[in-house]
Amino acid sequence: MALPTFVDRVALHVSAGRGGNGVASVHREKFKPLGGPDGGNGGPGGSVILRVDPDVTTLLDYHHSPKRRAEHGGHGAGAHRNGAHGKDLVLPVPDGTLVTDPQGNVLADLVGPGTELVVAQGGRGGLGNAALASSKRKAPGFALLGEPGDELEIVLELKVVADIGLVGFPSAGKSSLIAAISRARPKIADYPFTTLVPNLGVVSAGDTTYTVADVPGLIEGASEGRGLGHDFLRHIERCAALVHVVDTASIEPGRNPVDDLDVIERELSRYGGLEDRPRLVALNKIDVPDGRDIAGFVVDELRERGLRVFQVSAASGEGLRELTFAMAQIVEAAREAKPVVEAKRIVLRPPSADGSDSFTVKLTGEGWRVRGEKPERWVRQTDFSNEEAVGFLADRLNRLGVETKLAQLGAQEGDAVLIGHPDNAVVFDFKPGIDAGAEMLGRRGEDQRFDESRPAARRRRAIDEAMDDRGEGETRADVARRLDKPETYGPTSYEIGGTDDPDWREDDPGE
């Protein structure tokens, strides 16, 4: 089986690097027993970047290796040492590469040397416990996990960036013409479909230098998939002008230059998007006696259509100078009208789960599904083997308003709450009314919010409810003392032993 040497369309699976995990560490030094948290952050994962490289002309490398992955970020360490950044993976692509998703939606059009597309963003590194410390959480016993990087399927489609496109029937002499006016050396033979890939040549005419490309195998029905032209018509979409190379010495019965021109124009019209390109006509092979006579018969008819017609011979070189300078004139005019393309950096950012920075809650057959960029990211960062980390997640979700929203929509205690994509959602049991707050955390690695017995919390709620009915001049401490009397508010109501309980003070700071 012959290996391909030119590939202009390839499916590519790209995976960005995962962010490194943060670390929970405590500074240890002789004579300093309370050194404080010193866990470093994880490093971000590497991104996958497509960069236009003028020296690359094919997508062959990605045809052989269709899966590419960037480097993961390093994990954090103690002594405030952050993890290393994952190295970005830069993939060189030819100028004129179109990036789409498998459904055909255009993600980016990479034109201009140096243009970059960050197609897969590396995951963020997790925070260490030093970064999570606060005035209320002085020594966190947990750290955040790194986020996974983006992973997606993309399709790279090459559209050659050429100034002039040559179109015509097989064996019309397109490859011979490119070889005659440039240093390109395409395969040339006396049978149809000799050229299997687009040829690209660089032509100089006076002070103007431009590129010329041809479309192989363009025949009637090419726009519907016949021949090879359907696969390669995309390569002339960026051309400033089209040159019809017409065979004036064809020996096939029923063919003549005017009909050949009409057939190619119909296929271009069916393909679409090329109606505004200037046209030139090159009546080729006039070195053949019959070819020169036939060219003389049709040249006036073609000029009456408003076309610029040149009688040329790729074999003898006759008429090529006039043709190359006419092409240069069109190229110069197109370049002056076209704005300068500057190298730019494009970052492909997938939309959030609900299309905004907030979140949505919907009742499904599996339970209450919560979608949103923040809740899903926080879930990915949580180490569910650490109760304190789970408590921290509960704090964040509560501050965001997830619990309040669930209660408003009618969620009942014990209902299933799913956060994340349906394929890998994390399931929780809804438990409304659980107090959250860093000041309620107990020993490192423990979270009192998971205890069924919360007398101090119930006591505060009871005091808050009684404050609405307090007497004139009665303070919060007076209300608390009144509630401590068994005849007013028995111990069984909030299961607490009285004001000696260490979880309550007269100057209760609240939740």
Q: Rounded to whole angstroms, what are the CA distances from 276 to 3, 76, 233, 348, 460? A: 37, 58, 16, 31, 77
156 labelled as ligand-binding? no
169 labelled as ligand-binding? yes
299 labelled as ligand-binding? no
170 labelled as ligand-binding? yes
172 labelled as ligand-binding? yes
Q: Rounded to whole angstroms, what are the CA distances from 243 to 164, 199, 240, 292, 324? A: 7, 14, 10, 19, 11
130 labelled as ligand-binding? no
313 labelled as ligand-binding? yes
171 labelled as ligand-binding? yes
Report DSSP state, residue 26: B
196 labelled as ligand-binding? yes
281 labelled as ligand-binding? no
280 Cβ neighbours under 8 A, 6+ residues apart: 241, 242, 243, 244, 307, 308, 309, 310, 323, 326, 327, 330
384 labelled as ligand-binding? no
174 labelled as ligand-binding? yes
338 labelled as ligand-binding? no
Residue 304: Cβ within 10 Å count:
8
Q: Is 399 exposed, middle or buried (0-12, 13-18, 19+ CB in 10 A)?
A: exposed
Q: Rounded to whole angstroms, what are the CA distances from 466 to 15, 200, 474, 476, 495? A: 57, 86, 11, 9, 17
Contact 139, 36 (CB under 8 A): yes
222 labelled as ligand-binding? no
315 labelled as ligand-binding? yes
314 labelled as ligand-binding? yes
Instruction: Round to whole Å and give the CA distance between 214 and 188.
Output: 13
Structure token digits, residue 411: 């969620």
195 labelled as ligand-binding? yes
284 labelled as ligand-binding? yes
Binding residue numbers for Mg(2+): 175, 195
Residue numbers belonging to the annotated binding site for GTP: 168-175, 193-197, 214-217, 284-287, 313-315
Binding-site entries: 168-175, 193-197, 214-217, 284-287, 313-315
